[in-house]
């Protein structure tokens, strides 16, 4: 009976494999760090989002152990029932103050935060204007909201203005990654804000890759650009530079009050363990007061940009921890990634549909856990590979 059902799935899997697009998981056998053990091999890794090297930081480990001892391991309920622990509450207040907005709300993940905010704020008949290179979760959110979705070419303010000025939607929302996850470049945040003011739209920024990395103390993109506005809805994740897990949305108090009532991915899910919130509070402390980590990360970024010289492939323009090398073809990108692995270096190949067709790339992510010598090793191996490439 089920043979036909299975055959259909298998045929799709086979087709994916034929196109070189079937994905597999590596088995991680160590904590996150510069040197990891994966699939039985010790490798130098350039593929985590743990930009400040906090995922295995002793102060965070101690904070989690201490919090578990007093709060237990599970939250036991959703936030609106009895799951909202004082540790969650303290984290929200700290995060809001840190990014300079009146209030914040924590979500279980960035994916859920984006879905929750966009579906709460927007409905059928409203219009969403989204950068074409936005993260998948923002695209999914727009579809789920059933609003009219208009996508503009990457960072194209002229096209965006055309779309905004032509729109008669009662409510408008501009959605953009502040730092683009597969390119590492930034959105022109002040210019986006100016357009939102001109056309009376909300501006939602997804700062998953800027929070902890940008700004004097790691406060993220708003601090980096020096922008402030009540129409900004700021989202950042806590599983990347903050080294833990989860996400938060910060905005005006009335926006947060509204989300608390309306965001379905906030309401209908179990609160994360309170110990995660306590651990994230410890992460924010390190982020703020141990500025040497961020300084070191930016030194590594500058070092890579200065020392990596390629002809066939191309380091894409980026000032963040995401430093992609554009390769082009899917098979070439995979082959290069596999070649690096034979040299003990792990850098993932990113292929369509995650990135546009013919722009397959190696996505190098740097972390404060790396040393200059680690980055030099990567540079040497890449340059040597290019020389020998047949």
- In the complex, the smallest distance separating the C-beta of residue 241 from ligand PLP, rounded to whole angstroms, is 11
Half-sphere exposure of 365 (CA within 13 A, CB side): 25
Residues 246-265 touching ligand PLP, rule: CB under 6 A, are 247
Catalytic residue flag (residue 135):
no
Dist. CA 177–CA 208, nearest whole Å? 8
Which one from 57, 84, 88, 240 is the annotated catalytic residue? 240
Question: 315 vs 142, 183, 283, 373, CA distance in Å?
Answer: 31, 10, 31, 19
Residue 139: both structure tokens together: 């695209």
Of residues 109-148, which lie at the interface with ligand PLP (CB under 6 A)? 109-111, 114, 135, 137
Q: Please, which of residues 166-185 interact with ligand PLP by CB under 6 A?
A: 177, 181
- Residue positions counted in the chain: 390
State the DSSP H helix or E strand holding residue 380, giving kind and residue range, or none if neither: helix 372-388
Q: Note whether 94 binds ligand PLP by CB under 6 A.
A: no
* Positions in 187-216 near ligand PLP (CB under 6 A): 206, 208-209
Smallest distance, ligand PLP to C-beta of residue 113, A: 7
- Distance, in Å, from the CA atom of 165 to the CA atom of 319, rounded to the nearest integer, reads 32
Residue nearest to ligand PLP (CB): 110
Instruction: Give the whole-angstrom CA distance, residue 57 versus residue 63.
Output: 10
**In this complex, which beta carbon is closest to ligand PLP, that of residue 110 or of residue 243?**
110
| Least Å from the CB of residue 202 to ligand PLP | 17
Cβ atoms 186, 178 nearer than 8 A: yes
Token code pair at residue 387: 């020389």
Comparison of 115 and 385: residue with beta carbon closer to ligand PLP? 115
Q: Is residue 137 packed enough to be buried (19+ CB in 10 Å), middle (13-18) or exposed (0-12)?
A: buried
Q: Per-residue x/- marks for ligand PLP, 226-245, CB under 6 A?
A: -----------x-x------
Pairwise CA distance, residues 91 & 94, whole Å: 5
Residue 112 CB, nearest distance to ligand PLP (Å)? 7
Task: Using the minimum distance from each CB to ligand PLP, give the nearer residue, 184 or 308.
Answer: 184
CA-CA distance, 38 to 25, in Å (whole number)? 10
State the minimum distance, in angstroms, from the CB of residue 9 to ligand PLP.
Answer: 26
Does the annotation count 88 as an active-site position?
no
Active site residues: 181, 209, 240
- Judged by the rule CB under 6 A, the positions of this chain that interact with ligand PLP are 109-111, 114, 135, 137, 177, 181, 206, 208-209, 237, 239, 247
């Amino acid at each position: 009976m089920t043979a036909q059902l299975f055959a259909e799935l298998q045929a799709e899997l086979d087709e994916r494999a034929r196109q070189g697009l079937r994905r597999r998981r590596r088995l991680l056998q160590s904590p996150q760090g510069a040197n990891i053990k994966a699939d039985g091999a010790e490798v130098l890794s350039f593929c985590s989002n743990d930009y400040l090297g906090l995922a295995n930081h002793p102060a965070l480990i101690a904070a989690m152990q201490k919090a578990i001892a007093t709060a237990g391991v599970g939250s036991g309920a959703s936030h609106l029932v009895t799951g909202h622990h004082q540790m969650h509450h303290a984290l929200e207040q700290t995060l809001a103050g840190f990014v300079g907005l009146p209030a914040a709300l924590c979500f279980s993940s960035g994916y859920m935060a984006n879905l929750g905010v966009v579906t709460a704020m927007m409905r059928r008949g409203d219009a969403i204007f989204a950068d074409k290179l936005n993260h998948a979760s923002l695209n999914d959110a727009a579809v789920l909201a059933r609003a009219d979705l208009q996508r503009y070419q990457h960072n194209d303010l002229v096209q965006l203005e055309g779309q905004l000025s032509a729109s008669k939607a009662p409510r408008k929302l501009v959605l953009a990654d502040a730092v683009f996850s597969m390119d590492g470049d930034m959105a022109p945040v002040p210019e986006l804000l100016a357009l939102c003011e001109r056309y009376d739209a909300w501006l939602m920024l997804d700062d998953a890759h800027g929070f902890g990395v940008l700004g004097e103390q790691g406060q993220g993109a708003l601090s980096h650009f020096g922008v402030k506005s009540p129409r900004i809805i700021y989202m950042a994740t806590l599983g990347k530079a903050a080294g833990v897990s989860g996400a938060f949305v910060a905005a005006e108090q009335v926006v947060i009050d509204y989300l608390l009532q309306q965001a379905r991915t906030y309401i209908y899910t179990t609160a994360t363990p309170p110990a995660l919130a306590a651990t994230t509070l410890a992460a924010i402390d390190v982020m703020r007061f141990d500025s040497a980590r961020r300084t070191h990360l930016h030194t590594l970024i500058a070092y890579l940009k200065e020392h990596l010289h390629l002809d066939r492939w191309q380091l894409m323009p980026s000032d963040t921890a995401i430093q992609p090398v554009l390769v082009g073809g899917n098979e070439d990108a995979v082959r290069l990634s596999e070649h690096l692995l034979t040299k003990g270096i792990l850098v993932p190949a990113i292929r369509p549909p995650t990135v546009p067709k013919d722009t397959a790339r190696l996505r190098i992510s740097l972390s404060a856990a790396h040393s200059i010598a680690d980055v030099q090793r990567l540079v040497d191996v890449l340059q040597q590979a290019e020389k020998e490439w047949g």
